[in-house]
Structure 1
């Protein structure tokens, strides 16, 4: 098997060497070149046509974010961002993920060789996932194109067959009408009499097919001018909620979350709780970024927060998030540093499991793009317990069709939708 071609982009010669060595530990990958900044990277990518790129976020002359946007516009391919831990680097990493980067890796601490090895293992896992996702998407597109071509061919064949089997037009001579003369002694019969004797067809009474006016006023749901959501009441704004939306995602999640949350109106009569697999501190930048796009009030979750309709809560990196009902009947967020589940903390399974006993709430669970199967097992339990609705992002729009596919294979998804339709589906379900 020919190894995948990689270009490593970093302004530090030392980091270029470290990442090149980490990547080439796996014979499936070959570093064909390195670049010292974004401008150098764009030129080499255009000329050498690699399969995948690792890109430092902060570089002189042209940074990783600027280079990424040019790459995605001119030569789209999987790009894994290499991010520092400073606040500006985290913000730009979130924007990079929205702009099409496959995922990101935090740069290793150079004082701990063990940390470098862990980063190397994570990077190789992402490189493999990116290549697998690209090949799967290519196969999916090829399959869809073949299906469309077959449908088009069937349509053309049917049109040809119909045209060939149509009867030819035959010119017919219209027979001369037979003239009959009524006896002069008889008076012409009235139309009614002729109808009675069967000599003239009865004229049917004209029936109006205009629709009848509605017997009752249209409800909010039926009215075409009604908003696509039920605004939150004052009780719900105080924390007396009756529904909840729970979303889980991983690789490709920031872009998917942006696409969904920016289409959900501010008056959604349910809170939205979100688990996005992401390290500590990055989730705060993610929540701030999402808040700038969404009509909902998006924030990073804190322990003990009371859930309110019209608000969205992102689980902080490094902590599990659960929903619990307090003694006063309100629903609050509980954070913990329990052991990782499915290799993740926060874990979608942990969030979904916390919804199981909350039968007083109408619950809506969503799984979007991501590697692995986190969330699928507990979505199955929610589905079997009679949860109100379950959603999964369809393969055609997933960056990685892992978590949603696992749920679909467990037969626990009531709505499989492309990314651009998930928000509308949720709004209908909540309404």
Structure 2
């Protein structure tokens, strides 16, 4: 099998060389060209037809976002964005993921990152992952209309039978919780799901999206602007409201605790779990301690197995329905595959049907 052919796009000659040097350290990666801006990149794509592109967000002539739109339209292939952690950089990064970028790498210290070596291994890993992902199954383009789904739009897919090891009395369960875990490809998947949730949903939604600090606020703001429900970055100590989706802040765990008759958000910097903070397992574990709720757990696209152990705990301690994203629509079929392997998943759904499945479970669970 041939090497992964990469095009490196950055307006800084120093950064182009640095990124190239890092990538070619890996025996499976070959840098076949470089470009100094988006316009130059489009010409190089026509000429050399790379497998994967690394694309700087902030460039003159034609910036990364505008170039990405053309690439996804004319030359669709995996693109990894390189972004700064500024407010504008974070907002543009979230937009790039929704325009079709595979993933992003954060430059540690601005446009010219002399310390880029800190993310060298992450960069190589994501190039390899991007190349191996099933990009021919990219999910359909998003619309930005608010289109809540009603329950009767639910399309059934055969479920995996699951017999709970413990018997639970459903009659005393008067409230519900939705919890969602995702990673690579998650921002676009979340847009597909959250924009189809009706404003009057009778449950709060808790979300862990694997992201570093500085990006989840922009993600929440973007999703809030196009959804009927409220979407926000979770804040430590706030009381939970129905009809609101709470996204774990990048770099912090999200936990939910009972305070009297209410639920309260807890954000902390406790130990990294399975390489992640925020961790889906940590969130699921905390929700498993809430005994008076029906729960719907969703695991969507992402690498690894985060969420599977937490799903086992959820299923063994309460009334839980679990939904996994299908291989067909997952950008990376890692986390959903691990969830299905537990034999605890009740529905496997294409991403465009997950919102309807959630609403169906909430309606019929109690």
**TM-score if structure 2 supplies the norm length?**
0.87
Give the counterpart of 2:178 among 227, 242, 245.
245
Name the CA distance, whole Å, in 2 between partners of 1:387 and 1:366: 14
Equivalent position to 1:255, from 188, 192, 198:
188
1:319 and 2:252 are equivalent in the alignment: yes
The residue number in structure 1 matching 2:206 is 273
Matches within 5 A, 1:310-349: 310-326=243-259, 328-349=260-281
Greater percentage in strand: 2
- Alignment-derived partner of residue 40 in structure 1: 40
Where does residue 292 of structure 1 map in the other structure?
A: 225
**Distance in 2 separating the partners of 1:250 and 1:112:** 25
CA distance in 2, matches of 1:124, 1:387: 41
Provide the residue aligned with 1:82 in structure 2: 82
Name the counterpart of 2:11. Answer: 11
Q: CA offsets per residue over residues 175-226 of structure 1, 9 Å max, x none?
A: xxxxxxxxxxxxxxxxxxxxxxxxxxxxxxxxxxxxxxxxxxxxxxxxxxx9
SS of 1:80's equivalent in the other structure is strand
Task: For residues 85-126 of structure 1, give each alpha carbon's deviation from its aligned partner in whole angstroms, at most 9, with x where no partner exists.
Answer: 11111111101001110000011338987x533311001111
Higher relative contact order (CA 8 A, sep 6+): 2
User: Secondary structure in 2 aligned to 1:127?
Assistant: helix
Q: What do the CA deviations read for 1:42-85 (whole angstroms, capped 9, x no partner)?
A: 11112210000000001111111111110111110000000011
The gaps in structure 2 that reach 5 residues or longer are 139-148, 153-172
What's the CA shift for 1:291? Answer: 0.2
Cα deviation, residue 381, structure 1: 2.2
Structure 2 counterpart of 1:180 = none
User: Aligned partners of 1:387 and 1:251: how far apart in 2?
Assistant: 28
Whole-angstrom CA distance in 1 between matches of 2:175 and 2:303: 32
Residue in 2 that maps onto 1:123: 123
Check if 1:402 corresponds to 2:330. Answer: no
Shift of 1:402: 0.4
Contiguous gaps of at least 5 residues in structure 1 = 142-225, 230-239
Q: 1:346 to 1:12 in 2, by over 3 A?
A: same
Quick one: structure 1 residues 88 and 109, their matched pair in 2 at CA, closer, same or farther if it must change by over 3 Å?
closer
Report how far residue 428 of structure 1 moved: 1.2
Q: Is the 8 A contact 1:287 1:298 kept in 2?
A: yes
Contact 1:24–1:31 (8 Å) recurs in 2: yes
Aligned twin of 1:208: none
Query: What is the TM-score with the length of structure 1 in the denominator?
Result: 0.74
In structure 1, C-alpha distance between the alignment counterparts of 2:46 and 2:225, rounded to whole Å: 34
Q: Secondary structure at 1:6's aligned position in 2?
A: strand
Give the aligned partner of residue 284 of structure 2: 352
Displacement of 1:388 in angstroms is: 2.5
Give the C-alpha shift of residue 275 in structure 1: 0.4
Hey, what's the Cα distance between the residues in 2 that align with 1:291 and 1:241? 27
Q: CA RMSD in A?
A: 2.0
Question: How far off is 1:241 after superposition?
Answer: 7.7
Show the counterpart of 1:164. Answer: none
Count of aligned pairs:
332
* Segment of structure 1 superposing worse, 370-379 or 104-113: 104-113
Displacement of 1:355 after TM fit? 1.1
Is the CA contact 1:319–1:335 (under 8 Å) kept in the aligned structure 2? yes
Aligned partners of 1:364, 1:92: CA distance in 2, in Å? 32
On the 8 A contact 1:367/1:393 being kept in 2, the answer is yes
Is the CA contact (8 Å cut-off) linking 1:241 and 1:270 kept in structure 2?
no
Q: SS where residue 133 of structure 2 aligns?
A: helix
Among 303, 308, 313, which residue is 2:241 paired with? Answer: 308
Give 3-state SS (helix, strand or coil) of 1:345's partner. coil
Give the drift of 1:281: 1.2
Contact kept in structure 1, 2:150 and 2:356, CA below 8 Å: no
SS in 1 for 2:282: helix
**Is the contact made by 1:380 and 1:407 (CA closer than 8 Å) also made in structure 2?**
no
Q: Does 1:73 align with 2:73?
A: yes
